[in-house]
Amino acid sequence: MAQKVKTEDILAILEEMRTQLAELSGRVAQLEAGAKIQPTDADAVQPAPKPQLTHTVPAKQAITEEEVLAVSAALAAYLGIRVHIRQMRLLSSSSWAQQGRVLVHAHIPYTH
């Protein structure tokens, strides 16, 4: 059962957080003074730089008719009924390759 939170409890928690924040601000000021770092107004105003995206999306790969037939046959064999595939798309993922590398590097024999 969910506990009811009292307003007094929330106010006490907020006051504790304010105290901790003030203490941390003081410690940061001491560290900056020790390292002779003088924060400027420009530091507070400038947003963080946007990360550069290095991942490129590969061009769409066409799914061949043979691949569609193979998937359809596998589904029919597994489900026991004939299926109609409405949409199919390739999702690129390196997780299979990564798992294989993990097994090779760990010298763990693959058992299925």
Each domain of the chain, given as residue ranges in start order, spans: 9-36
Q: Per-residue pLDDT for 26 more than 80?
A: yes
How many Cα atoms within 13 Å fall on the side-chain side of residue 59?
1
Q: 93-109: per-residue pLDDT in tens? A: 777 778 888 877 777 66
DSSP letter, residue 109: P
Q: Which residue has the higher pLDDT, 9 or 72?
A: 72
User: What pTM, to 2 d.p., does this model score?
Assistant: 0.32
User: Torsion over CA of 16, 17, 18 and 21, rounded to 10 degrees?
Assistant: 130
Q: Per-residue pLDDT for 67 more than 60?
A: yes
